[in-house]
Amino acid sequence: MLRVGFHSGGAHGTGAPNLPNTRSAEYGDDTVEMVIASMKHENITWLHDYLLDWKKNIYVVDDRRAKLTVPRNKGREAMVFLTYIIDRYDSLPGSVFFHHAERFQWHNDNPDYDALTLLQRFRFDYLKEQGYANLRCDWALGCPAAIKPLVDATEPVPGEGLSSKRVYKKAFKELFPGEAVPETVGVACCSQFAVRRESIRKRPKSDYIHYREWLVKTDLEDGLSGRVLEYAWHTNIQQ
């Protein structure tokens, strides 16, 4: 499982807290952009108030008239992230943050559940070294082994309906034809991560188009299809 590095207060950090202006957040000459999956009712003002020098790509999935939207509102944030990658594949910035819209969320690793603090403390040297970094360090939920595809697909629990671990094996084969299904999938939730341009381009644009087409065509309901991708970003970007 990949773990993200932060300044003091997070993994790999030492010394007194340091909250740099976002002008210093770019690594060398690299540009930084955010990709935000949002709905019309969500509050995104914090992004514009504080992260002044990071270009924000705000996708509004339930507004067909929005400047940025998606072909179909399906698959939750996965549809947004894939649409951005496909549309910007040939003009990607050096670093991209894929993120939810709201500032305060239960899965942010901060005593106040504040995403802003985490973003301001983010270590770009770590991202350049690793190529990909989940924005959550806490192992709950997802680690060390959230899904065991070869076992979970064949051992239904009485009274339990469909879940991401039950459908993961079949979905993986559809998403990544010809690739071996992993015995164990362990990755911290919850679809917020940073990635370098060169990591995205380890796979051709056609792969991302295939993933988005899968989202559109799959019979899995919205939550399940999105969750499958949530447990696959570190795979489909890093391979």
All structural domains of the chain with their residue ranges: 22-137+190-236
Query: In one letter, which amino acid is 38?
Result: S
- Which of 190 and 212 is assigned the larger pLDDT? 212
The angle subtended at Cα 132 by Cα 129 and Cα 134, nearest 5°, is 125
* pLDDT for 18: 34
Q: For 63-67, 68-72, 173-177, 178-182, which range has the lowest pLDDT when averaged over its residues?
A: 178-182
Give the percent of the chain with pLDDT over 70.
73
C-alpha angle with apex 218: 214 to 219, nearest 5 degrees?
A: 175
Contacts 24+ apart (CB under 8 A), 65-74: 71/212, 71/216, 72/215, 72/216, 74/215, 74/216, 74/222, 74/225
Other Cβ atoms closer than 10 A to 224: 20
| Predicted confidence (pLDDT) at residue 106 exceeds the cutoff of 50 | yes
Task: Read off the pLDDT of residues 149-197 as tens digits, 9 standing for 90 and up.
Answer: 677 766 656 555 567 778 888 988 999 998 988 888 877 667 889 999 9
Res 157: pLDDT? 60
The structure's pTM equals 0.82
Is the confidence at residue 22, as pLDDT, over 70? Answer: no
Nearest-angstrom CA–CA distance, 144 and 184: 9
**Mean pLDDT within 226-231:** 85
Out of 16-30, 52-66, 142-156, 214-228, least confident range = 16-30
CATH architecture of 22-137+190-236: Alpha-Beta Complex (3.90)
Average pLDDT over residues 191-204: 92
Q: Is the model's pLDDT at 40 over the cut of 90?
A: yes
In sequence order, what are the residues at sequence separation of 6 or more whose Cβ sits closer than 8 angstroms to the Cβ of residue 42? Answer: 101, 102
Spatial distance between the Cα atoms of 171 and 176, rounded to a whole number of angstroms: 8
Write down the pLDDT at residue 229.
87
Residue 3 — very low, low, confident or very high, per pLDDT cuts 50/70/90? very low
pLDDT-based confidence at residue 228 (cuts at 50, 70, 90): confident
Identify the pLDDT of residue 21: 39
